[in-house]
Amino acid sequence: MNLSDALEARGLVCVVGAGGKKTTLYALADRLDRAIVTATVRIPIFDEQVTSVEVTEKPRSYIQTASSWPLGLVPEQEREDRYRGYDPQTVAELADAHDGPTLVKADGARTRWLKAPNEREPQLPATVDTVLPIASAKVVGKPLTEEFVHRPERVAALTDCEVGHELDCEAVATVLASDEGGLKGVPEGATAVPVVNMVDDDGLATTAKKIARRVLAQTADREFDVPRVVLTQMVADDPVVAVVK
């Protein structure tokens, strides 16, 4: 199964979590026709990952004349190293006006490998079609500290793992599958495809499959579809390592 099919990357797609959001956005943009890359939160400068980045407060107007893809759209360069994102309603309107996929970074994680959202996250448009909650397989065996986890105290509140203790597969799966974790704010009728990234060798593949099976066991009764968990190595030429259903 190719990456876009595995992740059901059609329409309005939001990526959340930690351990590969940006690489997922760029891998999809590189493989999809007429892709837009944008954000509802801050996003690091990504000009080299798309054909061009247009800074505009009126993104719907710009796509009418766009001719090069994938295209980045942002409202402002906030600092030298990052852009500001649009509000979720603007992104929803942009996606509705576009005849290709709209790929959205919808929360932040400060390059950590696991996270749980705060009260303001994620910033999901109400009309999102697919949500991709991400975690890194490499976080298993690491301590629940700020070195590896964004907001470790929130992860501790969702799991049986205390701050400072070693994370196991069950804890990572619980975060991905939780309505206060990776699946927070996913609307009824949308599809959620959890992603376990950084599956760089056979040992990590075994770990990731354990996480995936636990995620599926915990999401059987959701009001939205969780059809599979995808194991990936997003920096590889063929990013899909395995699909667990």
Chain centroid offset of residue 217 CA: 21
Residue 212, phi-psi category: left (phi > 0), alpha (psi -120 to 50), beta (remainder): alpha
Task: Give dist(CA 243, CA 240) in Å, integer.
Answer: 8
Chain centroid offset of residue 128 CA: 13
- Number of CB atoms found within 10 A of residue 1's CB: 11
What share of the chain has pLDDT > 90, as a percent? 96
CB 156 within 8 A of CB 174: no
pTM above 0.95, yes or no: yes
Query: pLDDT tens for residues 64-100?
Result: 889 899 999 999 999 999 999 999 999 999 999 999 9
Query: pLDDT tens for residues 187-224?
Result: 999 999 999 999 999 999 999 999 999 999 999 988 89
Structural domains in the chain, sorted by start = 10-239 (3.40.50)
Give, in degrees to the nearest 5, the angle at Cα 203 between 241 and 210: 75
Assign 173 a pLDDT band (cuts: 50, 70, 90): very high
